[in-house]
Amino acid sequence: MNPDIGFVQSVIRAIVRARISILTIALTYIVFITLGILFATNGNAYALAARDKLVDQAMQQNPTLITNNQGNHLQAALLDAGGNLFIGALPKTLSGLGIVFPYPFVAYQVWVGGFVAVRADHTSRLNDFRSGFYYLLTLLLHILSYSLAAGAGVNAGVSIFRPQPAYQGDKWLRLFPKEVLLGIARIYALVMPPRCGSFSVHGISNRKQLFEISFIIP
């Protein structure tokens, strides 16, 4: 068998085994980010004030945004990739080991993240095809990537108590089936490409406000 085909099949198997956890995380993202968008686009005062505060903080404090605004686009991309992995994806996977921990965190995070559905002047990004397209595409990339990362962690947590037949066998630290940990590693082959694609979308759009989306939904 071609090694590439074998690897792809192993990634698919890992996702299928973790599908329930991945789908429940994705559903949480979709429901609460939709609520955030509705709050902001309907002019909710709390949502608009929170949006302005979050964006101002991101523009002043986020090293990736600062570096990019200085014209160092390659360095900004590297900072973005590192932040996505070590600040974004890995903590979600680790919190998933507690099974229920990622859900309230994700719900609040993306609810607030939905507030950037409006621009600085509080008009909706969705009333313009170009900005609406990039906004929704960026959200899709976030949801895909972090649903995989958090869902893989939740699946590993569940496997401690109710391991699937495929996870029977040797365990790491006498807790985690080795096969489920290998599954996390395989799933991570798909976690980073969407997040890197998210940064590329922002670069193509060349609009400062579209950078806001990525860094308010870390």
Say what the pLDDT of residue 195 is.
52
Half-sphere exposure in the Cβ direction for 208 (13 Å, CA):
13
The separation between the first and the last C-alpha atoms of the chain, rounded to the nearest angstrom, is 38
Closest C-alpha to 158, from 99, 84, 88, 80: 99
CB atoms within 10 A of CB 157: 22
Looking at residue 193, its pLDDT comes to 58
The total of structural domains in the chain comes to 1
Q: And the tokens for 100? A: 């229920």
What is the distance between the alpha carbons of residues 150 and 156, in angstroms, rounded to a whole number?
Answer: 10
Average pLDDT along the chain, 218 residues, taken 10 residues at a time: 77 94 96 94 94 82 70 67 72 91 90 88 90 84 90 94 86 86 91 55 43 51
Q: Domain span at residue 193?
A: 3-216
Can you tell me the distance from the alpha carbon of 135 to that of 130, in angstroms, rounded to the nearest whole number? Answer: 9
217 backbone dihedrals φ, ψ, rounded to 5°: -120, 70
In contact, 141 and 88? CB cutoff 8 Å:
no
